[in-house]
Structure 1
């Protein structure tokens, strides 16, 4: 699977060739490495040995599959945990160190390391709340001084910790209450513009006092002198907050301009609310905050798509929302003077409605003729925004007639065998790397699809490195009918490798949802495989918007029993045939 789900530590351990399971199979541990560190409360041991004798872990036998694979989990205490695996006269020793996630207070009076916030330089508008935080000795009086203002930081009686996004993949995504008696927080509003430098934190306890300068400076921006930036990347990554932990928003086309209303580290907050990395922009000296009007709108048909042209005075930020039979485009920092729109009868668009939803925001609702959308693109040519909505696939006459051997004639499909080269992906109990089975199944699927008349593109056909960026670019350049990224799954250390199995589908844009649900249900039912589920997920190979793009997780490499199905050549052929049949049936339902 993608790096986000393959668990890079697991993926990096094994580079060995497949070891055939036989009576001579030695004791083999695929994961964890001999010296491993984790913050998880438990760990699984993934490996194999010939099934003729017991495998013992710390003197106790463990359950194994028919072929001898194993994946038991063990609880971890803080600090070092030692495991000894024995099989006949063979032995493997592993040390797993569980690290604490709690901040460590210094001996005596003081602040916890790296606990003072803001940790990076920040800039805000006058009157905005600026919050400060520290983890310090209990029962202390804590404050912060910024300029001539002193702000008290009060102890927080209880805190709730959210698990990472990965937790939903193991069904463990509930908030965890935790004591927060050492967590001090406070906020203030500053109305005067200027750079106030680094805040100074003070801690008082039993007559002793400690001061520490914060690492981040605080600046209040002048509303009359805001910087204006221009996006210099083809698709600037806009987010809901100032780090990659925050969700993605609609990418900003190259040339987009916006005023900067806040800063945090190397992130900029733009006037319509999104954040973007500074390196994806350039400052436009002397520019005033971008505002535009819009008058007439026109459209045209080009091969395979309808283009709608929005002539503007300046390129403004955009947002996109897709839903059933609706495509909504929002333009920010825009005021309408529109009286005329040209839109002929169209293969995709039934009607265009527009609304000035706020004084500086216009929304365009495209009512579509079909529930299935086939991809879109946004770009600026000069100051004109061009929205391209792709037409349904043009099936050849043989495809339309439904001849059984050519039902996908006229369909272009991109297959992405996940990982490759140095990036092995997950590994099975005997060291079989995910990258290899991804390629095997993708080639089998390619053959099945070609036999059905499809044109098939592959992101790789050998064991080589292909970056995520290059894979995404291939989708955008080739504009296939659909794009499928082929993967097999793994879990984080706290997962249950023995009892987690099944086929999963991952989608991001609404246009890929129906395909992901259809393929999931089709494969589960036809192959009688367990269901892992269908997930909305922000993955590199689900994000391309020029085609419905789905990432398939076809089973768990680390599950001892399911791995036997994954690595079976006959089952691989049946799987490829079933995926091809599922694609064919889905295309037939949306023609």
Structure 2
């Protein structure tokens, strides 16, 4: 009987020590988790770590867009080479055309629209730089291209408006560097892909787009190391289109289409 009592006391003491050093609820949780998930706890922790790593990889990379509002208040008719090492020269920059109805100079319209585009792109998460944010500047087409190059931009969007002696002509046009151009073959494909997506969005928005045209004679293209798309918003030589392009809602809608095209390009490339 004494032996029995002693044994019972020893068992009770050992039980108290064991309980004091353990966490029964924690052990129960561990065992339950193992049964429910079919994973070892260590494996579950590792899986969680992997998920965190995947989330980090899924973060959207920041892209830098350079917007070039075409022209400036005063043209600079001094010449510069149309491409690196080219013997051919063109005027550094012109002041552009003028609205037949609004009498608004193109350089003003271009900056108005570019500011709208800038804010839309920023709202989409892009970083944005602009070649100019005022009219009283003197920045040549060569300098605009090298500005984007030096800042390692991912895409250049140039904003312009058209003019013609024929006042009946209307519609936007999209210009890109030439596929067979001496200076631009390396940036043609990306420029074309982005231009095509912009055109699709403009079509969807109800804008008339006359097409995508390759150019090998534009200084701003030939000096660029960055894919570049130039959007001619419409003809300032047409009364109705001139007035529409100065309409704030029309501007916003067109710039939204351009921004949506740029966004889709970077989502798919």
Q: 1: distance between equivalents of 2:253 and 2:56? A: 26
Match of 1:447 among 119, 144, 148: 119
Within the candidate set 197, 203, 211, 1:533 is matched to 211
- The question of 1:523 aligning with 2:202 is answered yes
Q: Does the CA-based 8 Å contact 2:162-2:233 persist in structure 1?
A: yes
Q: Is the 8 A contact 2:198 2:261 kept in 1?
A: yes
Q: Distance in 2 between matches of 1:457 and 1:588?
A: 20
Q: Aligned to 1:583, what secondary structure does the other structure show?
A: helix
The 5 Å alignment of 1:123-522 reads 400=58, 409-423=61-75, 424-429=95-100, 430-464=102-136, 465-491=138-164, 493=165, 496-498=166-168, 500-508=169-177, 509=184, 510-511=188-189, 512-522=191-201
SS of residue paired to 1:463: coil
Give the alignment partner of residue 236 of structure 2, picking from 554, 557, 563: 557
Secondary structure class of the residue paired with 2:221: coil
In 2, the alpha carbon distance for the partners of 1:553 and 1:533 equals: 11
8 A Cα contact 1:399 1:410, kept in partner:
no
Indicate the RMSD between aligned Cα atoms, in angstroms.
1.9
> Which position in structure 2 is the counterpart of 1:99?
none
Paired residues, number: 183
Structure with greater strand percent = 1
Q: Distance in 1 between matches of 2:225 and 2:57?
A: 23
Q: Does residue 585 of structure 1 match 2:258?
A: no
| Aligned counterpart, 1:547 | 226
SS state at 1:487 partner? strand
Q: 1:398 to 1:439 in 2, by over 3 A?
A: farther
C-alpha separation in 2, matches of 1:399 and 1:463 = 42
Unaligned runs of 5+ in 2: 1-54, 76-94, 178-183
Partner-residue secondary structure (3-state), 1:542: helix
Deviations 1:532-558 (A, max 9, x none): 211001212222442111111111111
- Deviation string 1:218-258 (CA, Å, 9 cap, x unpaired) is xxxxxxxxxxxxxxxxxxxxxxxxxxxxxxxxxxxxxxxxx
SS for the counterpart of 1:541 is: helix
Structure 1 segments unaligned to the other structure (5+ residues)? 1-396, 402-406
CA contact (8 A) 2:172 2:233 kept: yes
Do the aligned residues in 2 keep the contact of 1:541 with 1:551 (CA within 8 Å)?
A: no
The higher relative CO (CA closer than 8 Å, separation ≥ 6) is in 2
Secondary structure in 2 aligned to 1:486? strand
2:202 aligns to what SS in structure 1?
helix
Alpha-carbon distance in structure 2 between the residues aligned to 1:557 and 1:472: 25
Q: Is the contact between residue 202 and residue 209 of structure 2 (CA under 8 Å) also seen in structure 1? A: no
